[in-house]
């Protein structure tokens, strides 16, 4: 390409063609006498591309770590210090029962209930791996209980719960960030408020939950209808 550009700028139009200026040099590069040089240049190109890809991946990871919604231990501690409220809830685990010292899948329903309550109110943050007193317990026992025993597996399981209990159209309203402190990892689930009513499936029953104060409350049919109407009028 450089040769073609040079000849064009010099006004030499003789022999300027794709075949002569582009395809022929490429073919010559694979001639027997040129193979060592081609191999060296190919290896340098591969190493350069791999280094660039690695650099871009580091930038991507750093951008996630520097998420303005927290992403570091100082931000997590600041959240915990606020205590539970209408937009902040603590849960000890996703599915690990600390009292029984075993998996209790019923706790997953509690997580889904809490997320739906936040969606129906003003949104907020659910900290998983923090007890009611604000002590960091971590989600390591949850991780060991999952089929995929890593943070991606935890996030996948959480999204499955949202899909199963709240509906797949609400998965985009929940976002997870993980923060580690002294070997203990906390999942910070950022929940967006949703304009439409979000019902939480409990077996064959669909229930309507609302975050009120520092608790998640189930509303009866008339209360749910009244709240839904108020939300529609406000929007």
pLDDT of 66 over the 50 cut: no
pLDDT band at 94, cuts 50/70/90?
A: very high
User: Residue 72's pLDDT is what?
Assistant: 84
Structure tokens at 94: 């996703």
The model's pTM is 0.69
pLDDT band at 47, cuts 50/70/90?
A: confident
* Mean pLDDT across 120-144: 96
* Mean pLDDT across 222-227: 95
Contacts 24+ apart (CB under 8 A), 196-201: 197/120, 197/224, 197/228, 197/231, 198/116, 198/119, 198/120, 198/166, 198/167, 198/170, 199/116, 199/166, 200/112, 200/113, 200/116, 200/165, 200/166, 201/164, 201/165, 201/166
- How far from chain centre, in Å, is Cα 84? 23
CA nearest neighbour of 174 among 227, 226, 231, 123: 123
pLDDT of 41 over the 90 cut: no
**95: DSSP letter:** S
- Residue 178 CA to residue 188 CA, distance in Å, equals 6
Question: In the predicted model, what is the mean pLDDT of the chain?
Answer: 86
* Mean pLDDT across 197-224: 95
* Mean pLDDT across 168-187: 94
């Amino acid at each position: 390409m450089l040769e073609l550009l040079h000849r064009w700028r010099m006004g030499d139009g003789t022999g300027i063609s794709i075949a002569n200026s582009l395809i022929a040099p490429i073919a010559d590069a694979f001639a027997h006498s040129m193979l060592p040089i081609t191999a060296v240049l190919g290896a340098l190109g591969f190493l350069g591309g791999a280094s660039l890809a690695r650099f871009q991946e580091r930038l991507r990871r750093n951008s996630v770590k520097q998420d303005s919604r927290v992403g570091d231990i100082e931000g997590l501690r600041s959240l915990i210090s606020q205590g539970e409220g209408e937009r902040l809830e603590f849960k000890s685990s996703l599915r690990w029962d600390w009292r029984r010292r075993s998996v209790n899948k019923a706790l997953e329903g509690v997580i889904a209930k809490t997320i739906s309550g936040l969606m129906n109110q003003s949104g907020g943050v659910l900290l998983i791996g923090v007890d009611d007193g604000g002590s960091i317990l971590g989600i390591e026992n949850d991780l060991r209980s999952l089929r995929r025993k890593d943070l991606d597996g935890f996030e996948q399981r959480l999204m499955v719960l949202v899909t199963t209990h709240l509906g797949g159209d609400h998965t985009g309203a929940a976002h997870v960030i993980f923060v580690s402190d002294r070997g203990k990892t906390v999942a910070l689930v950022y929940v967006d408020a949703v304009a439409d009513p979000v019902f939480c499936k409990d077996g064959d029953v669909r229930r309507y939950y609302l975050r009120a104060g520092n608790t998640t409350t189930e509303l009866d049919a008339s209360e749910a209808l009244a709240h839904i109407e108020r939300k529609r009028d406000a929007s």
